[in-house]
Amino acid sequence: MKASKFKKISCQLIALTLTAAALSAESTARIVTVGGAATEIVFALNRGNDVVGVDLSSTYPQAATKLPQVGYVRSISAEGVLALEPTHIVGTSDIGPANALNQIKASGVPTSVIPSPGSPEDLYQAIQVLGEELEQTEAATQLKSKIESQLASIQKLETKPKVVFFMSSPGLGHLNAAGRGTKATAMIELAGGENVIRSHPGYKSISHEALVALQPDIILIGLAEGMPHNETRILDGVLHNAAWQNVPAVREKQVHTVPLGRTLSFGVRVGEAALELNQLFAETVSN
C-alpha cells in the first residue's frame, strides 16, 4: 500500500513539474509584432498574450492598441524594439528602414518577416508560415478555412460598379486617389468592383476635373482606425461640393467611409472587409 501510495504521489509531482515547466515556457515568450497584418495574424493564432509591443499600424485587435509601441512599420527604431527584450520578432516586409532591420537581426533575436499580404493567397501563406513558427498549426488551418469560407460567399456581380478610393478626406485642394497596383485596387476587385483610376500606379493626386470625367458610381474614403474623425463633416464636404454634383456617386449619395486598417491590411479581417464592400457594390448596381 505504501509503495503504491508513494508511486501515485511521485506521478502527481512529475505531472505538476511538467505543467509548471510548460507554463514557465509560455510566460517567458515575448513577441514584438511590426505591421498590422503580422499583429492580426499573431493574435488570431492565439499568441496575443505573448505580444509585448507593436507598431503604430497595428490597430487591431483592440488589445494590441494598449501595448507599448515601437514606431511606424517603415520607420522603426531597432533600440526601441530590442528594449522590450523580445524572444521573437514578427514583421511584414514593409518593416524598415533596412539598417534597423539589420540591427535587429544582428542581435540574434529570432525574426520572422512575412511578405506584406496583398491578396488572399499572400495571407494564406503568411498564416501557414507563422502557424508553424509559433507552433499553432491547427489554429492556422482553422483561420485559413474561416477566411476562405467568407470569401467564397462573395456575390459575382454581372455589372461591376466603377469605384474611386481616396486615402483620406478629399478636401478642396487634394484628392489622393488609389491607382494601379495598390491594395485598394486589389480589395475593390476582390469585392467585385472596378477601380476606374488607371492613369497612375500607387497613390497620387487627381484633379477635380478628372474625378468628374471618371464618373464613378461609388466613392470610398479610407479613414485611419483609432483616430478621431468627423465622418459627417467629411461626407457632407463631398456630397455638397457644387463641382461634383454631376458625379454619379455624389448624385446618388454613394460616398462611404471605410476603415483603412481592415480594408487595406489584407489581414485576418480581409473576408469581412470584402464581403461588406461586395454587399455595398451589389446594392449599388441593383438600384
Element holding 40 (H helix, E strand): helix 36-42
pLDDT of residue 231: 80
Using CA atoms, how far apart are residues 204 and 43, in angstroms rounded to an integer? 33
Using CA atoms, how far apart are residues 241 and 98, in angstroms rounded to an integer? 43
- pLDDT in single tens digits along all 287 residues of the chain: 445 544 444 444 444 444 444 444 455 899 999 999 999 999 999 999 999 999 999 999 999 999 999 999 999 999 999 999 999 999 999 999 999 999 999 999 999 999 999 999 999 999 999 999 999 999 999 999 999 999 999 999 999 999 999 987 555 446 789 999 999 999 999 999 999 999 899 999 888 899 999 999 999 998 877 665 678 888 888 899 888 999 999 999 999 999 988 999 899 999 999 999 999 999 998 87
pLDDT of residue 226: 63
* Collapsed DSSP state (helix, strand, coil) of residue 163: strand
How do strand 88-92 and strand 111-114 relate by DSSP bridges? parallel
pLDDT of residue 18: 44
Q: Which residues, listed in sequence order, are joined to residue 178 by a DSSP beta bridge?
A: 203
207-246 burial: b if 16+ Cβ within 10 Å, else e: eeeebeebebbbbbbbbebeeeeeeeebbebbbeeeebee
Q: Which domains does the chain have, with CATH numbers?
A: 2-152 (3.40.50.1980), 162-286 (3.40.50.1980)
How do strand 176-178 and strand 203-205 relate by DSSP bridges? antiparallel
Q: Whole-model pTM?
A: 0.84
Span 17-56, pLDDT tens digits: 444 444 444 558 999 999 999 999 999 999 999 999 999 9
Using CA atoms, how far apart are residues 88 and 104, in angstroms rounded to an integer? 11
Number of H helices, E strands in the chain: 12, 10
Using CA atoms, how far apart are residues 63 and 43, in angstroms rounded to an integer? 9
Which residue is associated with the grid cell 498590422?
36
